[in-house]
Amino acid sequence: MTTTSVAPGLHSTEVPRAGGLRRALRATLGRSYPRIIGANRDRSWLFYDTVLPLLGTIAFVYVYKALGAPEQFIGYVIMGGATTAFWMNVLWAMGAQFYWDKQGGNLELYMVVPCGIVPILLGMSFGGFVGTMVRAVAIVLIGSLMFGVSYNITNLPLFVLIFGVAMVALYGLGVTFASLFLLWGREAWHMAELFMEPVFLASGFYFPVRALGFWAAMGTSIIPLTLALDALRQLLFPKTHPALLPVSWEVGGLVFLAVFFIVLARFMLKRMEFLARREGRLSLRF
């Protein structure tokens, strides 16, 4: 491995440092570490992030069972339950994170480290994704075992592609939220709460989103999980799922959202950094 000392001739350090992409990668992994290791250190997540969401999911399962709904609705509900883990991670561990970091004094340090803030956000996203994936898989496994649900994925590569693009779009939205929450208000948890339950409804976490009506569902498709859930359900329940749009359109929509949110997140970050330096109030504790 080669390392380079930055700015040779000016900086007298003897400690080798990588620059550019290599440093960005190190910074990303560094920031993801607390999130990944955190799942192991603080096992309360097993209860709060798995058992509690599962309770809500189970309630919906019994509602559908009581109404005599087709069996695939149980699968819908379990998928929705797993997806809530990602949405909650994006709201609480991405959107609200800068706010917590500001309170703890981390944000100041993040803004003056040479890697810049983007790799730090990527690390937050990656670490959050890994931790949440474990929670989501736990929810799917426990839910499926409890209710005897089996899945038959018709096109696994496409399934993985849709999931991957959706996650990029979702965490891009999370980074945008991180800046927005910081800019909008001091009480980030209110913002997070504001976006939590309505999205559970609007994105069709527990039912086919088409049930909201075509145009309403199109409107809520700005949340990447709406299209992602619909496309994934089409692949899991190809004959019975009332699709919002054809899968190929939904993949196109997700790609658009991924690009859109990455660009928007970058813009919002630059704006937040500029305002923080100009106003001295967004990032600084005093």
Phi, psi of 77 (to 5 degrees): -65, -40
Residues 6+ apart with CB under 8 A from 82: 136, 137, 139, 140, 143
DSSP-derived 3-state class of residue 91: helix
Instruction: For residue 127, give the nearest of 79, 171, 192 by alpha carbon.
Output: 171
DSSP-derived 3-state class of residue 35: helix
C-alpha–C-alpha distance, residues 90 and 178, integer Å: 9
Beta carbon of residue 1, minimum distance to another protein (angstroms, whole number): 7
Choosing from 52, 63, 113, 130, the residue that interacts with another protein (CB under 8 A) is 113
Is the CB of 8 or the CB of 157 nearer to another protein? 8
Beta carbon of residue 34, minimum distance to another protein (angstroms, whole number): 4
Each residue 119-138 as x (binds another protein by CB under 8 A) or -, in order, gives xx------------------
**Position 277 contacts another protein (CB under 8 A):** yes
Choosing from 66, 112, 145, 156, the residue that interacts with another protein (CB under 8 A) is 112
Is the CB of 164 or the CB of 280 nearer to another protein? 280
- Alpha helices (H) along 148-208: 156-184, 188-202
Is the CB of 102 or the CB of 241 nearer to another protein? 102
C-alpha–C-alpha distance, residues 63 and 44, integer Å: 28
Beta carbon of residue 275, minimum distance to another protein (angstroms, whole number): 10
**Position 272 contacts another protein (CB under 8 A):** no
Phi, psi of 221 (to 5 degrees): -70, -5
Q: Determine contact, residues 192/92, Cβ cutoff 8 Å.
A: yes
Choosing from 36, 56, 71, 108, the residue that interacts with another protein (CB under 8 A) is 108
Choosing from 70, 114, 185, 246, the residue that interacts with another protein (CB under 8 A) is 114
DSSP-derived 3-state class of residue 238: coil
For helices 156-184 and 97-104, give the axis angle rounded to 10 degrees. Answer: 50
DSSP-derived 3-state class of residue 246: coil
Choosing from 31, 102, 135, 233, the residue that interacts with another protein (CB under 8 A) is 31
Q: Which of residues 35-54 bind another protein (CB under 8 A)?
A: 37-38, 41-42
**Position 18 contacts another protein (CB under 8 A):** yes
Beta carbon of residue 283, minimum distance to another protein (angstroms, whole number): 7
Stretch that binds another protein, among 20-28, 90-98, 193-201, 226-234 (CB under 8 A): 20-28
The Cβ of residue 70 has, within 10 Å, a number of other Cβ atoms equal to 11
Choosing from 88, 115, 138, 175, the residue that interacts with another protein (CB under 8 A) is 115
Is the CB of 187 or the CB of 279 nearer to another protein? 279
C-alpha–C-alpha distance, residues 110 and 151, integer Å: 43
Q: Determine contact, residues 132/216, Cβ cutoff 8 Å.
A: no
Is the CB of 59 or the CB of 109 nearer to another protein? 109
C-alpha–C-alpha distance, residues 146 and 206, integer Å: 17
Binding site for another protein (CB under 8 A): 1, 3, 6-7, 10-19, 22-23, 26-27, 29-31, 33-34, 37-38, 41-42, 104-106, 108-116, 119-120, 276-281, 283-284, 286
